[in-house]
Amino acid sequence: MACIILFVMVMRKLVVFLVILSTAFATCQDYVNANCQDYVNSAVTEFGVSCVYPQCFGAAARYKEAAFCYSCHGDKATADTYFQKAAQYYLQGKDYMGPAGDYPLTAPSYEYAADMYVELGNPSQASIYYDSAINEYLKIDDQANATAVRAKKAALWQTPTTNTTGQAGLSQNFIIGGIAVIVIIAIAVFIYFRKPAKTAPSPQPPDDEYPDLDLGEPEQPREAQDKSLKEKMRDRIRKKYGLE
């Protein structure tokens, strides 16, 4: 019963993982069904061709969406154009930030610009902006994001840089996730079957199984003992006075 419950719990986690993964894979399909130019038009109409922060930050995000969209359509040249434009707008918006403005967003601006250079296949430029992002995060004592950006920078030299929407990365995550689920199941099964089995108490042999065993005479009841004493006393009196 416990093994069945454990199996159900693991399967639930696997289903959640697959749902999350399927949502990630659906992103590119959504781009395929979309008109990529709509993202470009939105960047211009909503935020303007030339902008100041925070409009630049919003326009950069729209250009990034357009770049991913064109990449899903297989138009690498146009995708690279908008990845470059997105990086430009992230950095342009950063120039308008200062102590009197929304200073904490300086770090994300550098980070997102670096992400765009990763998509462009330019790890050297991405590394420079990742370093700037780390420095800005440390200025506001944001250790968590600084650590996350360090991991991004380290990954630049561990895996080849590709100009895709992350399908290869998602496939890798799927494989890693599948292996993790298998390992979890294996550990759970090992722990379950490693528990020592409960041993049943050994049955006691019946009294007549060893007939030759001398267990002594059974103890007589109290009344029988008293009667035996009276008879002995009576026999002694008869013998003493010659009444036998």
Q: Write down the pLDDT at residue 174.
A: 45
Q: What is the pLDDT of residues 21-42, one digit of tens each?
A: 333 343 788 887 889 999 999 9
Same domain, 40 and 79: yes
Domain boundary among 144, 161, 178: 161
Same domain, 53 and 152: yes
Residue 53 lies in a domain: yes
Same domain, 38 and 142: yes
Q: Write down the pLDDT at residue 229.
A: 76
Same domain, 55 and 30: yes
Q: Write down the pLDDT at residue 11.
A: 47
Q: Write down the pLDDT at residue 124.
A: 95
Residue 205 lies in a domain: no
Residue whose C-alpha is closest to residue 117's, from 49, 64, 182: 64
**Average pLDDT estimate for 226-233:** 74
**Average pLDDT estimate for 143-169:** 74
**Average pLDDT estimate for 44-56:** 78
Same domain, 176 and 68: no
Query: 47, 90 in Cβ contact below 8 A?
Result: no
Residue 198 lies in a domain: no
On whether the pTM is more than 0.75, the answer is no
Q: Which of 69-73, 89-93, 100-104 has the lowest mean pLDDT?
A: 100-104
Residue 1, SS3 per DSSP: coil
Same domain, 34 and 139: yes
Percent of the residues in the chain that have a pLDDT greater than 70, as a whole number: 57
Structure tokens at 196: 């020592």
- Terminal CA-to-CA distance of the chain, rounded, Å? 81
Same domain, 101 and 126: yes
Same domain, 57 and 172: no
* Average of per-residue pLDDT values in the chain: 74
Q: What is the pLDDT of residues 97-135, one digit of tens each?
A: 655 555 567 889 899 999 999 999 999 999 999 999 999
Q: Write down the pLDDT at residue 34.
A: 86
| Residue-number span of the structural domain to which 170 is assigned | 166-192
Q: What does the angle CA 8 – CA 9 – CA 11 come to, to the nearest 5 degrees?
A: 65
Higher pLDDT, 113 or 235: 113
Domain boundary among 161, 180, 211: 161
Q: Write down the pLDDT at residue 69.
A: 95
Query: How far is 66 from 164, CA to CA, in rounded Å?
Result: 13
Residue 238 lies in a domain: no
Residue 202 lies in a domain: no
**Average pLDDT estimate for 219-223:** 63
Counting the structural domains of the chain, the total is 2
Measured in residues, the chain has a length of 244
- What CATH number should be reported for the domain holding residue 92? 1.25.40
Tell me the CA distances in angstroms from 127 to 94, 115, 118, 134, 173, one per residue in order: 17, 10, 9, 10, 23
Same domain, 105 and 173: no
Q: What is the pLDDT of residues 159-217, one digit of tens each?
A: 554 444 444 444 444 455 566 567 667 676 666 666 555 555 666 655 555 555 555 55
- Please tell me what DSSP assigns to residue 241: T
Residue 216 lies in a domain: no
Domain boundary among 109, 144, 161: 161
Alpha helix segments (H runs only) across the chain: 2-33, 36-47, 55-72, 76-94, 106-119, 123-139, 143-156, 167-194, 222-240
Residue 122 lies in a domain: yes
Residue 212 lies in a domain: no
Same domain, 53 and 151: yes
Same domain, 118 and 186: no
